[in-house]
């Protein structure tokens, strides 16, 4: 694979910016829109090139759909095109979520806004469970059809769930340990080990106690250590943002997750809400910069080696174990999120959201919008809302 300037950079910026502005619905919607642009409409990439990009970016930690957008831009417009196109993909959602953060996290937001936040936040635990369940089939297939790997997969899943529910600050270590255990279990004389960048990330530990450094560390975990899809950022952020640094109350954290779901672009934009709560607009911009920078570094450094990366047994084994733990963590995060609900009517909204998402299998964005509407109506009718 190689990047070449075959498409003008302004064209790449315009098209990826458009997708960033209309890309509601998370990674599935982003992948669909990117394929329609790059393969079906413009013919920038062949179908096989695009599918290879999807597979390769799913091997990397961090927001996969953002990395896919960066990869597509790199393939057709080189390094500068990748940087410009990736930024164009991110910025529309970032602007939207910072504007909504200013509204939802104001000192005295209107009652209708408080109700909308409480309603959408009440649905978030069900969204987390649905997100985890959606990731199970592909991860289960990755484990293989032998008994021992499948037993380990279940153990890693349970370890991730238990860790997210109980020991939030150590979740990264648990996920990394599950990946390392799977590498050790599958190692043979001819197996390759994971690339050094992953080893460095697995050994990373927080070295800051608070302030801007703490915010940067939390954002770095989100961008560089989130295996298993965008929703794994929830357990990675929740303990730090709520319990350790008190940037957000439990109900405000639910609001942040909901905002990340209903705004366009990458779900990882949720980190900007945490940054805004910690240090205003500057904090939101810093959190986004730190969270998304690893995606650019990973793609630009590893894209020419994606074929070898996909064939690396150590990488595959690590992601099998880490991915199972990450899925468990996403599901486990629903427990503290659910316990954060403080009003009786929020429990009813949560149950309804569970039926909508898990039984009826309807869309997440519409679920959150309906929950927000219900919350606003109840708040205007005099129902209590968390503050």
Question: Are 161 and 225 within 8 A, CB to CB?
Answer: no
The answer to whether the CB of 290 falls within 8 A of the CB of 90 is no
**Distance separating alpha carbons of residues 330 and 197, to the nearest angstrom:** 24
Helix spans in the chain (H):
9-22, 27-35, 47-57, 64-104, 111-143, 147-166, 171-186, 196-203, 211-224, 233-238, 250-262, 270-302, 306-311, 313-332, 334-339, 344-354, 364-380
Question: 25-64: b or e for each residue (b if 16 or more CB lie within 10 Å)?
Answer: bbbebbbebbbebbbeeeebbeeeebebbbebbbbbbbbb
Tokens of 346: 């929020």
Distance of CA 87 to the CA centre of its chain: 17
Burial class (CB in 10 A: 0-12, 13-18, 19+), 279: middle
- Residue tagged 């109506």 (tokens): 377
Could you list the pLDDT tens digit for every one of the 387 residues in the chain?
Answer: 666 668 999 999 999 999 999 988 788 789 889 999 999 999 999 888 898 888 788 778 888 889 999 999 999 999 999 999 999 999 999 999 999 999 998 888 899 999 999 999 999 999 989 988 988 998 899 898 899 999 999 999 999 999 988 887 678 788 889 989 999 998 853 444 444 434 444 444 444 556 899 999 999 988 987 776 667 788 888 888 998 899 999 989 999 999 988 888 888 899 999 999 999 999 999 999 999 999 999 999 998 888 777 778 888 888 889 889 988 988 998 999 899 899 999 999 999 999 999 999 998 889 999 999 999 999 999 999 987
Let me know: does 128 contact 333? Beta carbons within 8 Å: yes
**What is the C-alpha to C-alpha distance for residues 315 and 59, in angstroms, rounded to an integer?**
8
Look at the block and give the residue holding tokens 């911009």.
Answer: 285
Cα gap 243→240, rounded to integer Å: 6
Q: Supply 251's token pair.
A: 């109900």
**Is this prediction's pTM over 0.75?**
yes
């Amino acid at each position: 694979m190689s990047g070449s300037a075959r498409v003008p950079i302004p064209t790449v910026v315009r098209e990826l910016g458009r997708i960033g502005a209309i890309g509601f619905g998370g990674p599935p919607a982003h992948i669909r829109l990117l394929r329609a642009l790059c393969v079906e409409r413009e013919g920038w990439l062949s179908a096989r090139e695009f599918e290879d990009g999807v597979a390769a970016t799913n091997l990397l930690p961090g927001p996969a759909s953002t990395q896919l957008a960066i990869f597509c831009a790199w393939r057709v417009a080189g390094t500068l095109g990748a940087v410009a196109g990736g930024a164009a993909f991110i910025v529309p959602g970032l602007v939207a979520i910072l504007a909504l953060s200013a509204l939802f996290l104001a000192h005295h937001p209107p009652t209708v806004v408080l109700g909308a936040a409480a309603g959408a936040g009440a649905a978030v635990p069900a969204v987390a469970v649905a997100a985890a369940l959606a990731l199970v089939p592909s991860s289960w297939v990755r484990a293989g059809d032998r008994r021992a790997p499948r037993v380990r997969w279940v153990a890693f899943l349970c370890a991730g769930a238990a860790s997210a529910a109980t020991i939030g600050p150590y979740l990264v270590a648990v996920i990394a340990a599950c990946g390392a255990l799977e590498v050790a279990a599958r190692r043979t004389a001819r197996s390759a080990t994971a690339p050094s960048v992953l080893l460095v990330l697995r050994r990373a530990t927080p070295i800051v106690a608070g302030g801007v450094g703490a915010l940067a560390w939390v954002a770095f975990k989100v961008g560089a250590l989130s295996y298993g899809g965008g929703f794994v950022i929830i357990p990675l952020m929740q303990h730090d943002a709520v319990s350790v640094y008190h940037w957000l109350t439990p109900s405000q954290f639910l609001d942040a997750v909901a905002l990340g779901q209903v705004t366009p672009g990458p779900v990882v934009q949720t980190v900007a809400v945490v940054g805004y709560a910690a240090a205003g607009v500057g904090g939101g911009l810093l959190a986004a910069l730190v969270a998304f920078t690893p995606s650019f570094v990973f793609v630009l450094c590893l894209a020419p080696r994606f074929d070898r990366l996909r064939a690396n047994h150590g990488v595959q084994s690590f992601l099998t174990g880490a991915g199972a733990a990450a899925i468990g963590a996403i599901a486990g995060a629903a427990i503290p999120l659910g316990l954060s609900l403080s009003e009786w009517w929020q429990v009813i909204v949560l149950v309804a959201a569970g039926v909508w998402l898990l039984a009826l299998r309807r869309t997440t964005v519409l679920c959150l919008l309906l929950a927000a509407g219900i919350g606003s109506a109840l708040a205007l009718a005099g129902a209590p809302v968390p503050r």
